[in-house]
Copies of this chain bind each other. A is one copy, B any other.
Amino acid sequence: MFRFGYDVVMSSVTPAARPLRRDAERNRLRILEAAREVYADRGLTAGFDEIARVAGVGVGTVYRRFPDRADLVEALFDQQVDDVVARVEAAADHEDAWEGLCAFARWGVQTQAADRGLAQVLSSAGHGHDRVAAGRDRIEPAVRALVRRAQQAGALRPDVTELDLGMTVAMISRIGGVADQDLRERFLTLALDGLAVRRDGPSALPARRPSQHDLGCVAELARPAR
Provide the bound-state CA to CA distance between A221 and B174, in Å.
Answer: 8
- Best-buried of A45, A122, A212 by chain B (most CB within 10 Å): A212
Interface size class of A (residues with CB under 8 A): 35 or more
In chain A, positions 103-117 with a C-beta closer than 8 Å to chain B are 116
Provide the bound-state CA to CA distance between A69 and B214, in Å.
Answer: 23
CB distance from A117 to the nearest CB of B (A): 10
The reply to whether B119 and A219 form a contact with Cβ atoms under 8 Å apart is yes
* Complex interface: stretch among A20-28, A83-91, A156-164: A156-164
The interface bits of chain A over 195-226 (1 if a CB of B lies within 8 angstroms of the residue's CB, else 0) are: 10111111001000111111111111111100
The reply to whether B215 and A170 form a contact with Cβ atoms under 8 Å apart is yes
Q: Which residue of B lies closest to A43 (CB)?
A: B222
Question: Hey, which chain B residues are within 8 Å of A215, CB to CB?
Answer: 123-124, 163, 166-167, 170
Question: Hey, which chain B residues are within 8 Å of A194, CB to CB?
Answer: 190-195
Q: Is A56 an interface residue (CB 8 A)?
A: no
Q: Is A29 an interface residue (CB 8 A)?
A: no
CB distance from A157 to the nearest CB of B (A): 4
Question: Hey, which chain B residues are within 8 Å of A145, CB to CB?
Answer: none
The reply to whether B221 and A126 form a contact with Cβ atoms under 8 Å apart is no
Interface residues of A (CB under 8 A from B): 43, 45, 116, 119-120, 122-126, 157, 159-161, 163-164, 166-168, 170-172, 174-175, 186-187, 190-195, 197-202, 205, 209-224
**Can you give 23 contacting A-B residue pairs, CB < 8 Å?**
A119-B219, A123-B218, A124-B215, A124-B216, A124-B219, A124-B220, A161-B210, A163-B210, A163-B211, A163-B212, A163-B215, A164-B186, A164-B210, A166-B215, A170-B215, A171-B171, A171-B174, A190-B194, A192-B194, A193-B194, A198-B200, A221-B221, A224-B224
